[in-house]
Amino acid sequence: MAESVESAEPAEPAESGSTEETGGATAAGKGRRRIGVLLVVAVLAFLIDLGSKLLVVARLENHAAIKVIGDVVTFQVIRNSGAAFGIGQALTVVFTMIASAVIVVIWRIARRLYSLPWAIALGLLLGGALGNLTDRLFRAPGVFRGHVVDFISVQHFAVFNLADSAIVCGGILVVLLSFRGSNPDGTVHQPVEKKEK
């Protein structure tokens, strides 16, 4: 009586739950792309910034400052042609180009975005950059030379807006994620241990 003989082949490791280590990066299951989260965060940050600027320009420009926390925090409208602290006021076009470049870079990263924290961080950066870029493009004195509306004044600090706040928060989150070894594509970078001789 003939018995069926199974060919002896090496078993392949199961793919589910497996991780690959390549160049110190641990690749887990990537899951869903997070472009939708990035866009939602960016749109919310942009709309909140735009709405706040429209409101303060209509209600506060050419009026006395409003005290929020004594003299420490006040609301007063300032048209800023430069960056934070009034730096580079003659370089408005340069700042417009930088903001445009940041948006392009974020969009390129978004094509391989699988990490939720990275999606939130990049969404904040994108929304903030779009908020200030909108001022550069559409406010006086002209296209690419528009002055950004700043209105949150902190004593002994800069006058800034909500787009600046989104950029700062997004930047801090990016730094923290980088220190933790997290990558936008959902992988985690781990330092390669040197083998003892």
Tens digit of pLDDT for each residue in 122-176?
Answer: 999 999 999 999 999 999 988 888 999 999 999 988 899 999 999 999 999 999 9
The reported pLDDT for the residue numbered 144 is 83
**Average pLDDT over every residue of 106-134:** 95
Q: Residue 112: is its pLDDT beyond 80?
A: yes
* 3-class state of residue 61 by DSSP: coil
In a domain? residue 32 = no
The band of 33, judged by pLDDT with boundaries at 50, 70 and 90, is confident
Q: Where is pLDDT greater, at 192 or 96? A: 96
The band of 87, judged by pLDDT with boundaries at 50, 70 and 90, is low
Percent of the chain surpassing pLDDT 90:
61
Q: Which domain range does residue 175 map to?
A: 37-185
**Residues known to be catalytic:** 150, 164
- Mean of per-residue pLDDT scores for the chain: 83
Query: Looking at beta carbons, which pairs linking 42-46 to residues 24 or more positions away fall under 8 Å?
Result: 42/122, 42/123, 42/124, 42/126, 42/127, 42/130, 43/127, 44/127, 45/123, 45/124, 45/126, 45/127, 45/128, 45/131, 45/162, 45/163, 45/166, 46/127, 46/130, 46/131, 46/134, 46/163
Distance CA(41)–CA(22), nearest Å, equals 32
* 3-class state of residue 15 by DSSP: coil
In a domain? residue 194 = no
The reported pLDDT for the residue numbered 170 is 96
In a domain? residue 71 = yes
Percent of the chain surpassing pLDDT 70:
76
Distance CA(106)–CA(21), nearest Å, equals 26
The reported pLDDT for the residue numbered 11 is 46
Distance CA(147)–CA(56), nearest Å, equals 15
In a domain? residue 21 = no
The count of domains in the chain is: 1
The reported pLDDT for the residue numbered 89 is 64
Distance CA(103)–CA(171), nearest Å, equals 14
In a domain? residue 174 = yes
Q: Residue 92: is its pLDDT beyond 60?
A: yes
In a domain? residue 74 = yes
In a domain? residue 139 = yes
The band of 73, judged by pLDDT with boundaries at 50, 70 and 90, is very high
Q: Residue 35: is its pLDDT beyond 90?
A: yes
In a domain? residue 127 = yes
Could you tell me the two tokens for 107? 């969009």
Q: Where is pLDDT greater, at 54 or 81? A: 54
